Amino acid sequence: MSKELEIAKEIALKAGKLIMDFYNKKDPGIIEDKGGFYQNYLTEADQASEKLIFEELKKHFPNYGFIGEETANESSDKKLVWIVDPIDGTKGFVNKTDQFGVQIGLARNGEVILGVVYLPALKKLFHAKKGKGAFLNDKRIHVSKIDRIEDFRVGISRRALHDKNLHMLFDKIKGKEKEYADSIAYKWSKIAEGESEVSLVKKRASKEWDLCAPAIIVQEAGGKVTTFSGKYVTFNKEKIDYPEGIIASNNTIHEDLLKLFN
């Protein structure tokens, strides 16, 4: 899968450059606010990024399946399937927080086997391939070894500010530091590079494109990603959302965290 990984990295960099051209404009190019109490935007940059990624992947891998947030959001009957989020953290993109990224993952028979996450405003390119480790700008990275929950640095969705149940879950982690961010790419990448220890996603709050690429990066850095009941996360399912909550951690006390939440 070396060819697939290198091409995915190249495409992520191209998409990131395109996104930054939009990001540096005064007008964020909002096409639609998808509604709800939480800002959920579709922008011109989302559409342009996914178009670029889709066309490039189809050019190089015409026989692979493709699942993307904006254009092809149903499961594929292919053995190998690209799963793409053109901008993870669109709210952060619109509000110019720098907390957004391009995500390109490849799944085989439901299991993610490689992933690329590019945070263009921060110039951070993460990649991982099953069994080969995780890297930031081509330098090997590892999760932290912190194993005391009171020392944990916690990545929290801003939704927790509006969601009582999610806020209660985060309150169970008496960590020393909490950082609010809207992008799973951003939060889980921090776990992979050892700058955070745990992040939670509430049930039915994520789709496959949100989790695919960052999941393997966390895992190959030594971390763990499961549902709240301890099941491993799979992809290219019949239904592309997750009825259970999801936890990503540095894996030092992952089982204890599951007991805490259940």
Q: What is the pLDDT of residues 62-116, one digit of tens each?
A: 999 999 876 666 677 889 999 999 999 988 888 899 999 999 999 999 999 999 9
Which residues does 234 contact at the CB level (< 8 Å), separation at least 6?
Answer: 110, 111
- Whether 37 shows a pLDDT value over 50: the answer reads no
The residue behind tokens 């209660």 is 168
Same domain, 136 and 155: no
Same domain, 8 and 122: yes
Count the helix, strand and coil residues of the chain and give each as a percent rounded to the nearest 5.
35, 25, 40
pLDDT tens-digit map of 147-163: 998 899 999 877 666 76
Q: List the CATH number of the domain containing 123.
A: 3.30.540.10
Q: What one-letter code names the amino acid at 47?
A: Q
From 90, 114, 141, the end of a domain falls on: 141
From 85, 117, 141, the end of a domain falls on: 141
Q: List the CATH number of the domain containing 248.
A: 3.40.190.80
Which residues does 156 contact at the CB level (< 8 Å), separation at least 6?
Answer: 170, 178, 179, 180, 181, 199, 200
Same domain, 257 and 192: yes
Phi/psi for 134 (5° steps) reads -120, 150
Same domain, 102 and 223: no
Which residue(s) pair with 42 in the sheet? 32
Give the residue numbers spanning the domain of 155.
149-261
Mean pLDDT lowest for which of 7-11, 56-60, 172-176, 228-232? 172-176
Same domain, 115 and 31: yes
223 — pLDDT class (breaks 50, 70, 90): very high
Same domain, 129 and 171: no
Q: What one-letter code names the amino acid at 49?
A: S
Same domain, 25 and 130: yes
Which pLDDT score, from 0 to 100, does residue 158 have? 72
- Whether 125 shows a pLDDT value over 80: the answer reads yes
**Rg of the chain over CA atoms, in angstroms?**
17
Query: At CA 31, angle to CA 28 and CA 36, rounded to 5?
Result: 100
Same domain, 88 and 172: no
Same domain, 107 and 170: no
Same domain, 109 and 6: yes
Same domain, 14 and 132: yes
Same domain, 130 and 86: yes
210 — pLDDT class (breaks 50, 70, 90): very high
Which residue(s) pair with 82 in the sheet? 66, 106
From 90, 112, 141, the end of a domain falls on: 141
Structure tokens at 33: 């606010």
Number of domains in the chain: 2
- Residues 75 and 60 sit within 8 Å (Cβ to Cβ): no
Which residue(s) pair with 105 in the sheet? 83, 115
